[in-house]
Amino acid sequence: MSVTAQRQPSADEIVAALVASARTAMDRFENHDQKRVDEAVTALAWSIYKPEHARMLAEMAVDDTGLGNVDSKIIKNTRKTFGTLRDLMRARTVGVIDEQPERGLVLYGKPVGVVGAVCPSTNPAATPVNKAMMALKGGNAVIIAPSPAGYTTTAKTVELMRAELKKCGHPEDLVQVLPGPVDKAMTQALVEQVDLAVVTGSQNNVRRAMQSGTVTIGVGAGNVPVIIDSSADLTDAAEKIAASKIFDNATSCSSENAVVILDDVYEEAVAALEEAGGWRCDAVQKAQVERTLWVGGKLNREVIAKDASVTAEVFGLPEEARQARFFMVEEPEVGGKHGFADEKLSLVLTIYRARDFAEAKRLVRAILEVTGKGHSVGIHTAKMAHARELAAETDVVRVLVNQAHTFGNGGGFNNALPFTLSMGGGTWAGNTIDDNLNYRCFINVTRLVTTIPEDKPSEESLFGAYWEKYGR
């Protein structure tokens, strides 16, 4: 007797069931009560900050993806989570969030709805928790779309978040994950059915989401160039650049990809970078790196986010280079895509020599035109006037001064940027936000408006100067 095979549900049907569960969970969520909302957010933070969980998820992430290193991922899982929790606990997001009696305004925070969070393989634990914390802070539910490469880690992360929610009496379905195996069709179905899509990862994913018809927050590609100015503390600059470059084997979009050094301190600065662990490739070694770094117009997966010893071996560098922490290649001018000016996601740092500060600014802008426009730049200098010039003349959202980019760009305890793992680049990067992703992206605001004493200036006060100069 023949047995008719049961029809498997489509991607649209699977996602529709998850979205329905998310809406039910939101109905049960006490998202009118800021204390209960904050408790849920804290629960999510603890699920990954707990020391044994932070290590377990870091080890899983490296095993799953082959990207980065365990110690760095433990820091990501804890530092980013702690900093984000600090920021979120300082904000009101539900009910009355602000009153301005002098302006006749009362502001009410309300959920945006079900959030679809597309997450990258580079941070398969930290990014899902980071986005989930922000989503629930706004009273929303979230469905995570993992990278296929990081699925096991992300699924475990979601399991831990759900367990903590259950512990404190919140609906577990406030946080869900797409079932495996995840593919583009499933992720696209999610993006199309949620109320807000928040996409971190490949620019292809960002573009597809932006074209889906769903309100989308996407982030731009990183490719951070940093200037070492003539007045910089060279040792301090080199140590910060090195620490930032090697963190998680350069997986971060905020990792320095190029350093532009002023001519009068060039050799001294390169020597400081060597002292900090950099290997200065000669012309032959540079050619070997170039041949190996890109394969068929794509970054070679054998070197993406790999340990320095592995990277040196793949490049065919000498034995002593395998003791280095990162690898420097010197370029006379900025090239194009799939060259040393492009984002490298590896322990390769491109060095440029600028005859003066004006040329340094030009080189930085040229690098960003290749990849990374809108994202970030940095400068090591004792002259704040130079930092201000760079900020005024460069189309980026962030200019970091005397900081290690990877540790400051996504928020720091010694700067005012919000903690995040997703950074917008404004319209320069084709993004809808020109800020670090933060709780404000996850709420709608209703404004209760009452009358105030009339605020109507005279015609003379508004037009007088124009009339005097050009006539009526």
pLDDT for residue 3 is more than 80: no
Among 326, 171, 168, smallest CA distance to 256 is for 326
pLDDT-derived band at 203 (thresholds 50, 70, 90) equals confident
pLDDT for residue 25 is more than 80: yes
pLDDT-derived band at 121 (thresholds 50, 70, 90) equals very high
Which H helix or E strand runs over 224? strand 224-228
pLDDT for residue 320 is more than 90: yes
Buried (b) or exposed (e) across 261-273, using 16+ Cβ within 10 A?
A: bbeebbeebbebb
Conformation bin of residue 400: beta by default, left when phi > 0, alpha when psi is -120 to 50: beta
Q: Average per-residue pLDDT in the chain?
A: 96
Task: Measure Cα distances from 164 to 65, 157, 379 in Å.
Answer: 26, 11, 42
Calculate what percentage of the chain has a pLDDT beyond 90: 95
Among 375, 445, 419, smallest CA distance to 133 is for 419
Q: What is the largest CA-CA distance in the chain?
A: 97
Do the beta carbons of residue 364 and residue 334 sit within 8 Å?
A: no
Q: What is the pLDDT of residues 365-390, one digit of tens each?
A: 999 999 999 999 999 999 999 999 99
Task: Measure Cα distances from 286 to 25, 267, 327 in Å.
Answer: 55, 18, 10
Q: What is the pLDDT of residues 66-120, one digit of tens each?
A: 999 999 999 999 999 999 999 999 999 999 999 999 999 999 999 999 999 999 9
Q: Write down the catalytic residue from 119, 168, 253, 281.
A: 253
| Predicted local confidence at residue 1, as pLDDT | 43
Establish whether 253 is a catalytic residue: yes
User: What pTM, to 2 d.p., does this model score?
Assistant: 0.94
| Predicted local confidence at residue 375, as pLDDT | 97
**CA 140 to CA 300: how far, in whole Å?**
39
Which residues, at least 6 apart from 134, have a Cβ–Cβ distance to it below 8 Å? 84, 88, 437, 438, 439, 441, 442
Average pLDDT over residues 126-137: 98
**CA 394 to CA 426: how far, in whole Å?**
13
Which residues, at least 6 apart from 333, have a Cβ–Cβ distance to it below 8 Å? 352
Sign of the alpha-carbon dihedral angle for 424, 425, 427, 430: negative
Q: What is the pLDDT of residues 410-424, one digit of tens each?
A: 999 999 999 999 999
Average pLDDT over residues 405-414: 96
Calculate what percentage of the chain has a pLDDT beyond 70: 99
Domains parsed from the chain with CATH numbers = 11-219+437-448 (3.40.605.10), 224-408 (3.40.309.10)
